[in-house]
Amino acid sequence: MARKYYISLEEDGKIYNLFVLGYDAAGGFFIKDLSLHKGRYFVTKMRLQLKGYGIQTIPVDPKNEWITNFKPKLIHHIDGLVQISETGIRSGLYKLTGQPKGVANRNVSLFNDGGPVWGFVCWGLSKFPRNKSKDLILFDTSTIHIDPHLRKIEIDDKQHSAHIFEAFYLPIGALRLVNLANGVIKFQHPNFGIIPLKYIPPPKNSPGFIALGHRLTITGFDTPHGITYGGGVSATDKYGYVTQIQLLFPFDDIRPDPGKKVPRSLDFTLKHKFISWIDDLGSKLRKILSL
């Protein structure tokens, strides 16, 4: 049976629901933000190097940039396929070619090193709902893990401070390491040493589970509210680069380069419906001819 939780944050006595984290019955998972702000999402496939903590220049490829008017889900299937999906957004695979209809990536094994398998950054808590009271996984800013790489001037910079949640996917056997009194597991972070993670209970018979870390960070954006999240890191190519899917919201407020042409749409249209119909028909004909 699938399960989902509202990942929430308590600050100054108020509880804000930031995003939904859901498992499917096989142990795969999805995340979907709960921002109340209206606007378009920017979606890209980023090519970068995994070289530890620090700043790097990331190449930009307009062919791997999209926008959508719908609130997307970042879905990570247990077989390693990662895609952007939701009603109104092109997603899934073509039956004839196996190629993605929208934005997708092939992830390395979830159990390769635990992760992080995705990260979620947000700022401007007042733009998130506060009405969910059940199925909460609650984080508290009074016990937040401070990024040890931040300088004090950055920690005190309230205008640019943001909350980051990192997800690590651990084999089900690691449940024995969870402190059942508080749901915390101690984890060796690749950059920050031993940090506390919150255990997110998986569905029955799942091969693994997500453990979430939360810390304070900073953002370079000057907008009062925003979100960026991504995951689905691919295997390393021969040049030492990986590819991952990344989302940014709201696109029109924090556009990466306002002077650039607006990316093409990821939204499902009548044209895409016709292409899917042709693909489905071709798949059926191929089955008939193979009998």
Q: What pLDDT is attached to residue 2?
A: 76
pLDDT digits (tens, 9 = 90+) for 221-280: 888 999 999 888 877 778 777 888 999 999 988 876 767 788 899 998 888 888 888 888
pLDDT score for 123: 94
In this prediction, residue 9 carries a pLDDT of: 93
> Quick one: three-class SS letters along 221-232?
CCCCCEEEEEEC
What is the pLDDT, as a whole number, of residue 134? 87
Residue ranges of the chain with pLDDT lower than 70?
Answer: 1, 50-60, 108-115, 142-159, 256, 258, 291
φ and ψ at residue 127, rounded to 5 degrees? -90, 10
CA dihedral 214, 219, 222, 228 (to 10 degrees): -70
3-state secondary structure of 286: helix
At 171, list the tokens: 């084999």
Please enumerate, as own/partner, the contacts of 257-260 that have beta carbons within 8 Å and a separation of 24 or more: 257/60, 260/62
Q: How many C-beta atoms lie closer than 10 Å to residue 220's C-beta?
A: 7
Domain definitions of the chain by residue range: 3-162+217-290
Considering only CA atoms, which of 5, 75, 67 is closest in space to residue 34?
5
For residue 147, the model assigns a pLDDT of: 65
d(CA 219, CA 222): 8
pTM: 0.88
- First-to-last CA distance in the chain? 36
φ, ψ at 286 (rounded to 5°): -65, -40
Strand order in the sheet with 81-85: 104-106, 81-85, 73-76, 29-33, 14-23, 3-11, 136-140
- Cα-to-chain-centroid distance, residue 8: 16
pLDDT given at position 68: 96
